[in-house]
Amino acid sequence: MNWLPKYNYILASKSPRRQELIHDLGIDFRVEIREVEENFPAELYREEIPVFLAELKAKPFLGTLYENDLLITADTIVWLDGEVFGKPSDREDAFRILKKLSGKEHQVISGVCLTGMEKQKSFWSVSNVSFRELSDKEIYFYIDEFKPYDKAGAYGIQEWIGYIGITHIEGSFYNVMGLPVQQLYSEIIRF
């Protein structure tokens, strides 16, 4: 039995991981994409960035939702030493990012925005992730085999690099995959 309210759920995300997680949560949904430029003001800090981007992704839908629609938008960033890491632009950028994460703890922060016809609610989740020291060879192997160009921080925790490189995680594992599903479930019930 599904405990979630009966909305017409719309997921505005191309991410196969987000789609899989929403499906596995037991939500019957459709995917609808409306392109936006994913830019954010430079003065935003940490969790403000993915929340801003999640809300930005909801903007093209405003005024087009029906009474029982519930739109879900999300964005995930990696944060280390005051620097934000989104999706890498190419192989060398992916290497640069993973080299910086190597041997350190960083934060993975997802912002999620729930939008209905008359109200909107945003929230965020933070997970701390520690990598062991990665060799250049391991980093290039991962990039060349798994092509992590659609992933914040240039890695997927559920892929090879997560198996061999992640030594510790504090917080939601699914948040690191791109969607804090337990928190999403609770927020939908409260919405």
* Catalytic center residues: 75
Is residue 30 situated within a structural domain?
A: yes
Q: Phi and psi for 78 in degrees, rounded to 5?
A: -110, 135
d(CA 182, CA 33): 24
Instruction: Give domain status of residue 80, yes or no.
Output: yes
Give tens-digit pLDDT for 46-87: 999 999 999 999 999 999 999 999 999 999 999 999 999 999
Quote helix, strand, coil % in the chain, to nearest 5: 35, 25, 40
Tell me the whole-structure pTM to 2 decimals: 0.93
Integer Cα distance of 40 and 114 in angstroms: 19
Residue 160 CA from chain centroid, whole number: 19
pLDDT digits (tens, 9 = 90+) for 118-140: 999 999 999 999 999 999 999 99
Domain, as residue range, for 29:
8-190
Q: How many domains does the chain have?
A: 1
* CATH code assigned at 62: 3.90.950.10
Q: Does some domain include residue 3?
A: no
